[in-house]
Structure 1
Amino acid sequence: MFRKEVLDNGLRVITEKIPSVRSVSIGVWVDVGSRDEQAGEEGLSHFIEHMVFKGTRRRTAEAISREIDALGGELNAFTSREGTTFYAKVLDEHVGQGIDLLADIFHHSRFDAREVTKEKQVVLEEIRMVEDDPEDYLHDLHTKNAFRTHPLGRPILGEPATIEALRRRQLVAFRARHYRPSQVVVSVAGNFAFGPVLTQLATAFGGPWGRGPASGRRLPPTIARGVHVQAKPLEQAHVCFGLKGLPHGDKDRYGAYVLNAILGGGVSSRLFQEVREKRGLAYSIYSSVMCFSDSGLLTVYAGVRPDAAPRMMRLVLGELRKLQAKPVPRAELARAKSQLKGNLMLGLESTSSRMSKLAKDEIHFGRHVPLREIMADIDAVSESQLARLSRDLFDDRYLTVTALGPLKKGDVERVLR
């Protein structure tokens, strides 16, 4: 059973009762992420996510860890380009304690200056870890190159210089500016009694808080065409192709999801079959779609030995051109639709994923989107829609190529001519 309530301060509470399970997942979703940071604030959203676990007025950091472990539950958080989420998963009998823990770290974290100094080193190590992973690092470079100076292109973890210079007052000011009830959705999914849970949430998250001035509005980016190569002595050449994507609310979004499944979204996809299965050029090759509130990015990634990179790139470009030139066969379209629907259904079998869907629906669409509606929209995708989308999204004007490894920019540019 799905319900939506709006508290007295404008915070939205979205719930779904699932009596057949024993768990409850609770999430506090803040509609602010790395794209909302100003120059000199790079990484603040992610740093705040770290700091909420470092002690509150009522609990030390160790007490927080011990309490969630004693419940056999999970307490964690993550940051994206457009959001920051704090969540807990507990047994249904512990839902009250789970909400109390979440509310405490969300509202009453101390942001102790000594803890800030220690956590800087942790985040700097996290940045180094990403830079040591070629695939992760390439995706950061690629997003930056695709969006250029737009805030969406900034790395979520921030820049080392910004993290090193960070002060407690910046964190507190950033939080006061962006963490307001109208920017927050609390979602709950699992086996719980609605009345007591709503009462506890209203007590914990209702009332006057976060009354600072509104944060600035977001401006849409433009995908920039270009070739970017960062030389690095690696065993493989890692390459990303960036293409135009669609925002969350676009009427063609399900067409884009189906197109991605056909192109590189699974082991039966065209890229996986042509590049890996038939030619053995790559272990990892795939495509993915990132949707934002006002834009999107479709990315193809492959890691190959350096001397195979030109051939792999020609094959990728060839598959893009085929999708532009020839209609997708009905059988292939039917398989892609079935794949999407199956992935969706299987992904919603946990209370964590159901909780996430509740919040995302509210943030992106302002309403609950029933599963039957999603299935119908997937089924409605047509061959002609895919042909139109291929011509639009795969247009050379939006093609950005980013490479990491022992490659030369001139060699990459020659393949693209």
Structure 2
Amino acid sequence: MSSALDVLVEPLASPGVMAAKLWLPFGSACDARDQRGAHDLLASLLSRGCGPYNPKELADVVEGCGAGLRCDAQEDGLLLSLRSTLEDAEQLLPLLGWMVLEPHLAPDQVALEKNLTLQMLQRQREDPFHMAAVAWRGLAFNNGGYGHDPMGVEQDLQNIERQQILPLAQQLPSGQSVLSLAGSLPEDIEHRIRAMDGFRGWPQASAEWNAGRLNYGTPAGERIHLESMDTEQVVLMLGQATVPHGHPDDLVLRLLQCHLGVGMSSLLFRRLREEHGVAYEVAVHYPQLMGPAPFVLLAATGMERAELSLQLLLQSWDELCQTTLSQADLTLARAKFIGQMAQGRQTCSQRAERRVQLRAMALRDDHDQSCMEAIASITVDRIQETCQRWFQKPQLSLCGPPESLETLERVWANRHP
């Protein structure tokens, strides 16, 4: 039986530094319905004492080496990250194994991290971007795994105690995990890593593990959500859940993301900022997920410009299905895509994280290179066909003052009665 830990190594000519990324396939999409935020809380606890180190000793070891160690909860998994010099790598790498196999989860640390997370959630209630995004998730995924922010929901988090965290920690080694190392690496580290302290007890792959078991969520009945907030700012998010990373249509949508939202030559920047001056921020949100990824147009504006901003967003969305891109726009989108791919592979940390992501998603190591070659064959007609397939039922989340929301709701109703 093979190990549940897949090890990837990429030696690079770096100035004596290395990065390690350990992916565990248990993210916020695995949160139970009444424990939304449990995996994020677990992630924050893994670096609060593990193996032979209590929280203070662990911090002293990492900081004494000038290294960085953290764990983040994402929708699809937990990502443990270590950054260190080559000289300290063999001392610090075992920490990643101990964080998974021997986390302390001390009661005082559970209470501390829980209180810190609750404070962060309370502060985010004052952020219109966050509130609009949370509401859009609810529209697109309802009560499914993608239907809440990885940090969780305040009322659920208040009821999560150590006894709910323990079983989540115990299952971490059972999933098919991936460790990726990049940079200046210790000699023969790929074969020696499993014998290191911390990794020595890593179990074999479980026959019961099933990575495709999750319910990511399905759209709610409503297609618009109004989040009232005492502010002069209005945040608009318009979009639809689409496809997983690596899906045949994913590359087309990535080109669309570049066309619509990357750089000052993008459609949204030109239309909403340069031509009409109505929005001070525009973007396209299209994350790389194992499940149906949101494709969302975002704009932030003032009260007096909110109505025109929404009309322009709706116009831009409708045009995707009704008209084709020009060849010049497609050529520019291809150039932006290639530039983004190159920019995302500049550091050891970026390269290690991308390799671990591809392996976790069961994609080939040369997936990115294949994509850069494949974009030449994507035509404007195929882009329009993809839009017609995935952009027929957009959902709108609005956050702002009540008087603006009433006007915007009427604009939406006229387009989508």
TM-score normalized by structure 2? 0.91
1:364 pairs, out of 361, 365, 369, with: 361
**Residue 399 of structure 2 corresponds to residue 404 of structure 1:** yes
CA contact (8 A) 1:249 1:365 kept: no
**Alpha carbons 1:31, 1:183 under 8 Å: kept:** yes
Counterpart CA distance in 2 for 1:290 and 1:8 is 31
Supply the RMSD in Å over aligned alpha carbons.
Answer: 2.2
CA-CA distance at 1:394 after TM superposition = 2.2
Report how far residue 381 of structure 1 moved: 2.1
Q: Distance in 2 between matches of 1:20 and 1:55?
A: 30
Q: Would you say the 8 A contact 2:344–2:350 is kept in 1?
A: yes
Shift of 1:215: 6.9
Q: Does 1:266 align with 2:263?
A: yes
Structure 1 length normalisation: TM-score? 0.91
Deviations 1:203-230 (A, max 9, x none): 4435454879647811353334511101
Three-state SS of the structure 1 residue aligned to 2:244 is coil
Equivalence for 1:110: 104
Identity %: 20
Deviation track 1:75-115 (CA, whole Å, cap 9, x = no partner) reads: 11211111111110111222112202222223222111122
Counterparts of residues 172-251 of structure 1 (less than 5 Å): 172-177=166-171, 179-203=172-196, 204-205=198-199, 207=201, 209=203, 214=209, 217-224=213-220, 226-251=223-248
What CA distance in whole angstroms lies between the structure 2 residues aligned with 1:150 and 1:131? Answer: 22
Is the counterpart of residue 25 in structure 1 residue 22 in structure 2? no
Output the CA distance in 2 between the equivalents of 1:228 and 1:356: 35
Answer yes or no: is 1:300 the counterpart of 2:294.
no
How many residues are treated as equivalent by the alignment? 408
**Structure 1 CA distance, aligned partners of 2:209 and 2:189?**
32
Name the structure 2 match of 1:131: 125
- The residue type equivalent to 2:177 in the other structure is V
The verdict on how the C-alpha distance between 1:323 and 1:213 changes in structure 2, with shifts beyond 3 A counting, is closer
Does the residue aligned with 1:205 lie in a helix, a strand or coil? coil
Residue pair 2:128, 2:234 contacting (<8 A) in 1 also: no
The Cα of 1:202 is off from its aligned counterpart by: 4.4
Indicate yes or no: 2:148 matched with 1:151. no
Q: State the alpha-carbon separation in 2 of the partners of residues 48 and 212 from structure 1.
A: 25
Q: CA deviation at 1:152?
A: 1.0
Q: 1:345 aligns with which of 342, 345, 348?
A: 342
Deviation, 1:280, is: 1.2
* Pick aligned residue for 1:379 from 359, 369, 376: 376
Mapped to 2, the partners of 1:10 and 1:164 lie a distance apart of 33
Q: Compared with structure 1, are the counterparts of its residues 43 and 215 closer, same or farther at alpha carbon in structure 2 (3 Å cutoff)?
A: farther
In the alignment, the residues of structure 2 paired with residue 352 and residue 108 of structure 1 have an alpha-carbon distance, to the nearest angstrom, of 25
SS in 2 for 1:12: strand
Residue type matched to 1:89 in 2?
R
> Does 2:312 match 1:315?
yes
Q: 1:299 Cα shift?
A: 0.6
Partner of 1:64: 58
> What is the identity, as a one-letter code, of the residue corresponding to 2:111?
T
Q: Which runs of 5+ in 2 are unaligned?
A: none
- Structure 1: 4+ residue segments shifted above 4 A: 210-216
Does 2:273 align with 1:280? no
Which one is further off, 341-350 or 359-368?
359-368
